[in-house]
Amino acid sequence: MLCKKKHQELKPASPSPAEEDSQEGDENKIRGNWTNRMDFMLSVIGYAVGLGNVWRFPYLCYRNGGGAFLVPYLMMLCLAGFPLFIMEVGHGQFASKGCIGAWSIAPIFKGIGYSMCCVTILCCIYYNVIIGYTIFYFYSSFTTEVPWRTCNNTWNTESCMTSNFTEDATRPSAEFWNNMVLARSEGLHEMGPIRWQNLVCLIIAWIIVFVCISKGVKSSGKVVYFTATFPYVVLIILLIRGVTLPGSLQGILFYIRPDFSRLADANVWKDGAVQIFYSLGPAWGGLHTMASYNKFHNNFYRDSLILAGVNCGTSILAGFVIFSVIGFMAEDMQLPLANVTDNGPGLAFVAYPEALARMPIAPLWSVLFFFMLFTLGLDSQFVMMETVITAVCDELQSFFPRIFKFKTWITLITCFICFLLALPMVTNGGIYIFSLMETYSAGFSILTIGFVECVVIAYVYGSKRFLKDMKVMLGFQLNIYWRICWMLLSPAIITFIFIFWAITYTSLTYYEYTYPLWAECLGWLMIMAGVVFMPAYAIYYMIIYGKGTIQERFAQGLRPEESWGPALDKHRLEAGYPLLAPGDDLVSTKKVNGGSYEMVASVDTSVKVTEPV
């Protein structure tokens, strides 16, 4: 190889194909970028602010000491939620890769990305079933009187009552949910036929998801301008209407009245930590994916703090909305508040709809509420699907460089497969499968993934090194507090949840139905599916890619791949990373008089030389 004089043969390193014409529009011409920062912000808000903010957080507050629950919730936010959120957004933005490709930072741990995809795809399968339910309720609300207000329908039983409740009485909203929507069977042993109306709603849900994400972030980034903001309009409208109703004050006090004695219960702290993981969305892969489409110098730190704050504020706001109306219903029914409150889907599809049904102009409020739930669910589904599809495209790009040209077809195939896998959940026994997947598909797996990624970033790659990379993007050094969290506090909190979860584990039930042993084993298989990729890929890497002894192969897997670092040449130079050779030319990069230059040799292209900058 010959290196000639700078003014003759040495030349500035040529841009990669991804970098060409990056002065206007997208920086990365192959993957693309968000059109603007607001696309990213609204997409992450839509992803993080989901159905759980409306039906899970308010119930947890009520169950765990009202306003006192904010103490463990906010502490877990600062010690685990914020740190992991910032780490994942920074990691994805720096590498411009999805949740699999970003782990070239330590290739033996690439299984973390596969685990994220597995958990996310399991969630995608059942999440659209919920969106289908919101479509059905939305359609059913277009009447002069909502059908879950009275007991004179074909699906009602003799025990249905709208007032003067006895111990054996059932509410019309509960019968509409169980008998009309679900046609719930006795258990998993009695699955029954497919409910055609639920099937139609599921098909509609998947068609909408496909259309909105078919062009990637370019299409979904525009849809979220409506779907991410409309829920706030409805929440504010419902809050204003709710606080004007009789009994609303009692409901709000029931929600926020602090019982600090509950802080002595470890369950309260566990619930606070778990809610942070479900609410903010770390360890799912979605944050990596969304951030990977940011431009390199986007201030992700500022964005992360804003996004996490908005998410938590939305949860608290939703609690006021829910309990102001629940308080009205309790007074109208002359029942204690505890008797009309439910958790999970029961709160969204039984308790709150009945409260709305007792209000004047009930169909209007029902239409607004269920359309809000629909948009909340869609936003989260957009990002979860994009997480899986982006990861697939990133992985296949080295084999098929033009893979992103066929992203629409990959999206269609992925949506269709998820639709087929969700069909058992629209049968009479489908709610039992739904509950099984919701319980086991994510919780334990997400905590495991979060713990491992903290260890890899903080200890394998090195927290100092990671902070240095972040400084290149931000232009300033992140506070040492985040390093302490990544190295110590966040892993410690996750370990606490692990231990407590194992100690307090009980068999799964759905109201009065107890799941058989084989169903619980199926649930644990879902948990294993979410974590097995991490050790499995490590073994695969050492066998296929490693060289030398076992120790040498393992050490090799702990070092970043040559491709690790920013996607564009100008950013690689800025961060001190070697340029990647374009095409088949033999290219190595050296620094000469403070500048970076290529040295090209017309020799056997099977030889590859890499000299780090």
CA distance 422 to 431: 11
Domain 37-543 has CATH 3.40.50: no
pLDDT digits (tens, 9 = 90+) for 255-270: 888 999 999 988 899 8
The tokens for 108 are: 């033996």
Q: What is the pLDDT of residue 296?
A: 96
- Please state whether beta strands 586-592 and 513-514 pair in parallel, antiparallel, or not at all (unpaired): unpaired
CA distance 129 to 125: 7
Find the mean pLDDT for residues 399-416: 89
Q: What is the pLDDT of residue 261?
A: 92
Find the mean pLDDT for residues 57-86: 91
The three-state (H, E, C) secondary structure of 209-229, written as one string: HHHHHCCCHHHHHHHHHHHCC
Find the mean pLDDT for residues 396-404: 81
Extended strands (E) in 330-483: none
Share above pLDDT 70 across residues of the chain, in percent, rounded to a whole number = 90
Q: What is the pLDDT of residue 194?
A: 96
pLDDT above 60 (res 225) = yes
Q: Write phi, then psi, for 325 (nearest 5 degrees).
A: -80, -35
Share above pLDDT 90 across residues of the chain, in percent, rounded to a whole number = 68
CA distance 476 to 489: 23
582: confidence class by pLDDT, cuts 50, 70, 90 = low
Give binding residues as ranges.
Answer: 46, 48-49, 53, 279, 311, 376, 379-380
Q: What is the pLDDT of residue 236?
A: 96
The tokens for 514 are: 């107890």
1: confidence class by pLDDT, cuts 50, 70, 90 = very low
CA distance 363 to 137: 11
- Helix (H/G/I), strand (E/B), else coil: 1: coil
Query: Residue 611 to residues 556, 575, 589, 599: CA-CA distances in angstroms?
Result: 17, 16, 6, 11
Give residue 594's Cα distance to chain centre: 43
pLDDT above 70 (res 473) = yes
pLDDT digits (tens, 9 = 90+) for 157-172: 989 988 766 667 888 9
Q: What is the pLDDT of residue 266?
A: 86
Choose among 128, 180, 161: nearest CA to 418: 128
Half-sphere exposure (Cβ direction) of 39: Cα atoms closer than 13 Å: 21
- What ranges in 282-337 are assigned the alpha helix state H? 286-292, 300-333
Find the mean pLDDT for residues 209-237: 92
- Helix (H/G/I), strand (E/B), else coil: 295: coil
pLDDT digits (tens, 9 = 90+) for 288-345: 999 999 999 999 999 999 999 999 999 999 999 999 998 998 898 888 887 777 777 8
pLDDT above 50 (res 613) = no
CA distance 361 to 366: 9
Lowest-pLDDT range of 212-226, 427-441, 559-573: 212-226
Q: What is the pLDDT of residue 612?
A: 38
Lowest-pLDDT range of 350-364, 379-393, 495-509: 495-509
How many beta carbons lie within 10 A of that of residue 75, not counting itself?
16
pLDDT above 90 (res 587) = no
Query: Residue 294 to residues 74, 149, 251, 562, 566: CA-CA distances in angstroms?
Result: 28, 48, 42, 22, 12
The mean pLDDT of the chain is: 87
Q: What is the pLDDT of residue 583?
A: 44
Q: What is the pLDDT of residue 167?
A: 65
Q: What is the pLDDT of residue 581?
A: 67
Q: What is the pLDDT of residue 442?
A: 87
Q: What is the pLDDT of residue 92?
A: 96
Q: What is the pLDDT of residue 333?
A: 83
533: confidence class by pLDDT, cuts 50, 70, 90 = very high
Do 568 and 16 contact (CB within 8 A), yes or no?
Answer: yes
Find the mean pLDDT for residues 591-609: 37
Q: Which helix (H) or strand (E) holds 513?
A: strand 513-514
Give binding residues for Na(+) as ranges.
Answer: 46, 48-49, 53, 279, 311, 376, 379-380
pLDDT above 60 (res 75) = yes
Q: What is the pLDDT of residue 63?
A: 85
What residues form DSSP beta bridges with 170? 160
CA distance 309 to 43: 15
The tokens for 54 are: 């409306």
Find the mean pLDDT for residues 60-86: 92
Q: What is the pLDDT of residue 6?
A: 38
pLDDT above 80 (res 605) = no
4: confidence class by pLDDT, cuts 50, 70, 90 = very low
Q: Which helix (H) or strand (E) holds 592?
A: strand 586-592
CA distance 297 to 530: 33
Which is higher by pLDDT, 609 or 99? 99
Lowest-pLDDT range of 28-32, 120-124, 248-252: 28-32
Find the mean pLDDT for residues 105-123: 96
- In degrees, to the nearest 5, what angle opens at C-alpha 476 toward C-alphas 471 and 478? 75
pLDDT above 70 (res 597) = no
Q: What is the pLDDT of residue 503?
A: 86
Q: Which of 53-57, 421-425, 494-498, 606-610 is the most confident on average?
A: 421-425
pLDDT above 80 (res 398) = no
97: confidence class by pLDDT, cuts 50, 70, 90 = very high
The separation between the first and the last C-alpha atoms of the chain, rounded to the nearest angstrom, is 17
Which is higher by pLDDT, 360 or 22? 360
pLDDT above 90 (res 577) = yes
Global model pTM greater than 0.85: yes
45: confidence class by pLDDT, cuts 50, 70, 90 = very high
